Structure 1
Amino acid sequence: MNRIQQCEEKFMELFGTTPVKNEGTDPEFMRILQRFIFGEVCYTGKLDNRTRELITITVLAVNQTLPQLKSHVKAGLHVGCTPVEIREVIYQCAPFIGFPKTLNAIAAMNEVYTAQNIPLPLENQETIQDKERYQAGLAVQEPLYGSEIREKYSYLPDEYAEAVPRFLTEFCFGDFYTRKGLNEKERELFIFVLLSALGGADLQVYSHAAGALKSGSTSEDLLAALLHAMPYMGFPRMLNALNSIRPLL
């Protein structure tokens, strides 16, 4: 198949409809967009539709492109992502993009769920009690990252030298990695993409690429994920991420 035929096939798989031909106010631009993303990028690498849509949802949440986020939440449901899986990739954005942007993405997601008659709130995915956040988070963090953060910020005044690594352990790992809905391998891969899309986080991109490899992803998974994310975050951020992870490839 040529890329126009592949675009038509993939568009139907994801959205249950056909791509733009001459409809709308900017059909030329939409043809460029759709044929590139759905006729070429979606056929590069070995990622399945479910993983691709969760990557897309992650990047759109980071970028706060909420109309497109709603479209891809629908597409994710259409190709077999569960409501919980979609919610988890959005929830785990919070330590990296902050609560307000994450709340915006949650609101967009919930609009789709309401329109699809998916009952809210979704089932609880917590697995630990509040008092267990530190130890449970540390049990995930240390095998992947050791005590690097605690050592790196030991130069801070005592209160902050204690608070910074503790907040990271409790909040990022304790509050999110211990949840059900996604496994560790998936969480690390999506966070690697998230940080790549965020920009200005080269050290963290490298660290989470290494974490993704430790969690079971391959270097090909990392490359395929970055390439899939590229149309949504742009070439510069993809190239920066590639440069960051070059020693790991």
Structure 2
Amino acid sequence: MPISEAARRYHERMFPGYQSSFLNTDPEFIEVFDNFAFDEVVNSDDLDDCTRMTAILATLVACQGIDEYRAMLPAALNFGVTPVEAKEIVYQAVAYLGIGRVFPFLKATNEILAVHGVELPLEGQATTDESDRLDCGEQAQVDIFGEGMRGFWNSGDEQTRHINRWLTDNCFGDYYTRTGLDHRTREMITFCMLSAQGGCEPQLTSHAAANMRIGNDKAFLIKVVSQCLPFIGYPRSLNALRCVDEAARRQ
């Protein structure tokens, strides 16, 4: 099965002039994967390349695909993902994956951006400080999830209430309030991160519903899952689709 012309063209757009060594060691596998991922999948819907690459980067961080991330970040830059956007994906991942899993991706991002001539540090994107991060984080939660999140930070069991506060002032107040990505994009990458790491189906369903609430409808989320499937496989993709269906039924 030769690599299709469509797959060759897409690969050339991602990696101009690059020939994978796997063509020599694993030619049959490369034919199957490239024809599927870079022809059949990318041509299955109308998702634009920049959105596709944004979703893939978030997915690779969450599934711990560091080698593939190193390969795909330059392709994402070629397809219009900006250095600021790439950094914001990695920063936000800390809230959903923890620094232990994100640290290698932060290092890799810095190294790749430096190779591409990007001067670091990038321009700051923070819009909050200690005086307003709680209030702004709460507003971000309300904007995304609805008025039911008003006062969430001060609710629940007294012994664990501090976690709710951290979710508001840290996850949303420190990260979602940053410029560089809007709420719709941040919710999409959160959806991708929860899908790719697995074991987070309750949170994935909630964030699927939040995506739908702010304009990333069911059809859009199915496209995102479809485009990320080659990078996380079928089980987690099917789990994500089940969560999307459940969220849609709740609307």
Under a length normalisation based on structure 1, what TM-score does the superposition of the two structures give? 0.91
Q: Once the 2 structures are TM-superposed, how far is the Cα of residue 71 of structure 1 from its aligned partner?
A: 1.2
Match of 1:147 among 146, 149, 158: 149
**1:148 CA drift (Å):** 8.8
The percent of aligned pairs where both chains have the same amino acid is 31
Q: Provide the C-alpha distance between the structure 2 equivalents of 1:109 and 1:52, rounded to a whole number of angstroms.
A: 18
Letter in 2 for 1:178: T
Query: In the alignment, is the contact (CA less than 8 A) between 1:20 and 1:31 conserved in 2?
Result: no
The alpha-carbon deviation at position 142 of structure 1 amounts to 2.1
Cα distance, 1:143–1:23 mapped onto 2, change above 3 Å: closer
Displacement of 1:194 after TM fit?
1.0
Distance 1:149 1:199, change over 3 A: farther
1:19 deviation in Å? 6.2
Q: Which residue of 2 aligns with 1:101?
A: 101
Look up the match of 2:133: 133
Deviations 1:53-108 (A, max 9, x none): 11111111112221211111100111111100111111111111101211211111
Shift in Å at residue 21 of structure 1? 9.8
Paired residue secondary structure (2:122):
coil
For residue 85 of structure 1, what is the aligned residue in structure 2?
Answer: 85
Written as runs of structure 1 = structure 2, the 5 A alignment for 1:214-233 is 214-233=213-232
User: Counterpart of 1:77 in structure 2: which amino acid?
Assistant: L
SS class of match (2:184): helix
- Mind listing any 5+ residue stretches in structure 1 that lack a counterpart? none
Are residues 1:236 and 2:235 paired? Answer: yes
Q: What CA deviation, in whole Å up to 9, does each residue of 1:124-160 have, x standing for no partner?
A: 0011122211100000102333239949972x3x242
Spell out the pairing of 1:186-201 with structure 2 (5 A cutoff): 186-201=185-200
- Please report how far the alpha carbon of residue 228 of structure 1 lies from its aligned counterpart in structure 2 after TM superposition: 0.7
Query: What is the CA–CA distance in structure 1 between the aligned matches of 2:150 and 2:170, rounded to whole Å?
Result: 17
* Alignment partner of 1:65 is 2:65: yes
Partners of 1:21 and 1:120 in 2: how far apart? Answer: 31
Determine the C-alpha separation between the residues in 1 that align with 2:118 and 2:94.
Answer: 23
RMSD: 2.2
Shift of 1:6: 1.4
Runs of 4+ in 1 over 6 A off after TM superposition: none
Alignment of 1:15 onto 2:18: no
Find the aligned partners of 2:122 and 2:83 in 1 and give their Cα distance. Answer: 8
Count, aligned residues: 245
Partner AA of 1:147 in structure 2: M
Output the CA distance in 2 between the equivalents of 1:151 and 1:127. Answer: 20
**Secondary structure in structure 2 of the residue aligned to 1:135:** helix
Q: Is the 8 A contact 1:3 1:40 kept in 2?
A: no
8 Å contact 2:154–2:165 — kept in the other structure?
A: no
Number of the residue aligned with 1:110: 110
Structure 1 letter corresponding to 2:221: L
TM-score between the two structures when normalised by the length of structure 2: 0.91
